[in-house]
Structures are given as C-alpha cells and as structure tokens.
Chains A and B, each alone.
Chain A
Amino acid sequence: MKKEDYFHKNKIDYIDYKDVETLKKYLTPHARIQSRRRSGVASNHQRGLALAVKRARFLGLLPYVTR
C-alpha cells in the first residue's frame, strides 16, 4: 500500500530544519536519510526534507552517523 505524504497531509510547504522531532522520523537507525520509496513523501517534499536534515546536521541538531 502507498504511504501517505505527511507534509502534503498537514499542508507543510516549508520543512524547517529546527523541527527535529519531525525530521527524526525520516532517518534510518544509522541516521541516514530514508529513501523516497521508504519515506513515501512526494519528490518536492523529499528534496526539502533532505535539505532540512542537512541543515540540522550542520547545526548539531541531528547526527551525521549513528553506530
């Protein structure tokens, strides 16, 4: 079954890098960004999500790697 796009459902156009709790949902156990196939979000939101995660990583809000 196709997963629902969380950002489309909640009408979130801009994915904020500070919203760590939401971003964490789209990371794998190794803290890598989930693929679109796994996350189920639309391609425009997946790009926004990747950018937000990378910004959050830079500021130390999210890890780059987890062992």
Chain B
Amino acid sequence: MSTTEDRAERTVYEIGYLVLPSIPEESLPDVVSKITNTFEKAGGEKLDGEDPFLYELSYEISKQVGARKYVVHEAYLGWIKFELEASAIEAVKAELDKTEELLRFLLIKVPTEAGFTFAAARAALEEKMNPTPVEEVSAAAETAPEAPKEAVVE
C-alpha cells in the first residue's frame, strides 16, 4: 500500500485539554507527553499544538479523583492537533478518560488548515492595544496633506 493511500484514511483530530492547577508547573511537560503518548502508541502523528498555560475559567469546574474533590476556577489550558486512523480514536479517548491530571478534555475532528493559536491571538490583541509607533509614523507621512503650492503671480 502506498503512503498516499495511508494518509487518505487518516483523520485530523484535536485535543483541547485542561490540566488541574494542583499539578506543579514543572510536571506539565510530563502530562503533555502522557497525552502525546496516547495517540502515538495508536500510530498517530503530532501536527501542531501549544503548551499549557494558566487560564482563568469562565465558571467553576469540579472533578472527583478517588476520595478527593477538586473545585477549580483556573486551570492549565493547552491543545494538540494530530493525525490518526479513525478506528483507533476510541482507544485514545478511553485512555484520556483515565488520565487523572486532566480536569477536562475536548476531542474533536478539525480541518487540516485550521491554524488558530493562542500566541497569535495574544500578539494580535497586544498590537491592537498599542500599535507599533513605526507604522504610525509612516501612515501619518503618507496621509499628510502636501503644503499648498504658492501661486506664481507674474
């Protein structure tokens, strides 16, 4: 079977996840690699993603782990986009369900060209708030009306 045929059977998925804030920041890479392993073990390939960062949630979310109940209003938010055969996705979901560090996750199909990143959105927002002065100067120069020429009277 050729590789192009293999590719055609694969679907692009995205996992958006929330990690419990009780997890120390230095252990976050371990949680991310745990998530990555779930689909790589099933033959998946990572395409894109962003590392988790602390995010204030819009509402309180709770999770029961054993006898302990976590009620949180902030969590580490991250996402990973990957390619995998559709038949293997159930196994990935089952494994993610068992991951105790995850507060919640969203596993969806996405188009390959979807390219939104939080980093780009933050940069765009900052640019909107304080536009770079260089552009302002050049824009002002372009729009500045020319000095009226004096009429030559002979």
Contacts and interface: CB of A to CB of B under 8 A. Distances in A.
Interface of A: 13-14, 16-19, 21, 55, 57-64
B59 A58 contact: no
A60 B104 contact: yes
A16 B114 CA distance: 8
Given A59-B18, A59-B104, A14 B113 contact: yes
Interface in B76-126: 77, 79, 104, 106, 108, 110-111, 113-114, 116, 118, 121, 125
Contact of A59 (B16, B111, B118, B121): B16
Given A16-B116, A18-B116, A58-B104, A63 B58 contact: yes
B106 A58 contact: yes
Contacts, number: 46
Contacts of A18: 16, 79, 116, 118, 121
A59 to B, nearest CB: 5
A60 B118 CA distance: 15
A19 B117 CA distance: 8
A18 B118 CA distance: 7
A19 B18 contact: no
Nearest to A13: B111
A57 B58 CA distance: 8
Nearest first, the 9 A-B pairs at minimum CB distance are A60-B57, A16-B116, A63-B58, A14-B114, A14-B111, A19-B116, A18-B116, A59-B106, A60-B58
A60 B77 CA distance: 10
A14 to B, nearest CB: 5
A17 B57 contact: no
Contact of A60 (B18, B108, B116): B18
Nearest to A55: B106
Nearest to B122: A21
Given A16-B116, A17-B16, A19-B121, A60 B59 contact: yes
